[in-house]
Amino acid sequence: MSTAKDLAAIQACLTNRLDAQIIGDKRIAGVIGEAPSRYSKSPALWNAAFADLAIHARYVPLDVDAAKLKDLAAAFRNCERLLGVNVTVPHKLAIMDSLDELDPGAARIRAVNTVVRTHDGRLVGYNTDGAGFGASILKPQPGRTESFVASLSGTDVLLLGAGGSARAVAFSVSELLGGGRLIICNRTVEHALALAKEIRSAGGHAEAIGENDLLKWALKVILIINSTIKG
């Protein structure tokens, strides 16, 4: 298993610096995005988990420009010690062009938040955003006895955003609404219209609105989901 050489190939695609001494000969995992080194909590969470489980691996932030995505994917294929990576904004859609295979769920959503490297060097894309979101509101979280909501069936839900994570949440939530509606609001209304059309084609009930109608719908729904990068 190569070490310095494969890490150097990954480093050549990044705008942040990796600490080769800390990584050493460990297996590698990480999160790719425009600048996760500035804000992502994933490295701290995953490195704590690796340490607790005695997994000889290091999770690192990987800041990469869109123009370098294909080069980074090529470096991943040649890196035998790569476990996989998570994908955050703004690369959840663009990364698909650099992968060898999409899981059926990711192919349906057309967005990827997780990439796994197989033993033969192929890169397979998955999307866990939707399922993770559903579980976070419908199942009791650690330290709590009740879920955030008991059910979404028959309710109207407002979704802000139409990007990568919003797409995953839209498909997942629409399946939980029963006769309820998913109202999608996006700064670029054409993107909201396109996503709503896809949800309807998949058998869900979805409508698109512009930002001018946001307040009106915010007062009507039982749940507002923010899938934008705005706080």
Residue in the structure block whose two tokens are 């690796």: 50
- Distance between CA atoms of 68 and 76, rounded to whole angstroms? 12
- Distance between CA atoms of 33 and 230, rounded to whole angstroms? 16
Residue 223, strand partner residues: 157
CA–CA distances in Å: residue 43 to residues 57, 60, 113, 144, 223: 11, 6, 15, 25, 30
Is residue 230 annotated as part of the catalytic site, yes or no?
no
Q: Hey, what amino acid is at 87? A: V
Centre a 10 Å sphere on the Cβ of residue 150 and count the other Cβ atoms it contains.
9
Handedness of CA 41, 45, 51, 55 (dihedral sign): negative
Cross-sheet strand order for the sheet of 223-226: 206-209, 182-185, 157-160, 223-226
Q: Which helix (H) or strand (E) holds 42?
A: helix 42-52
Of the residues 26, 68, 92, 220, only one is catalytic, namely 92
Residue in the structure block whose two tokens are 């010690």: 81
Cβ atoms of 102 and 113 closer than 8 Å: no
Active site residues: 92
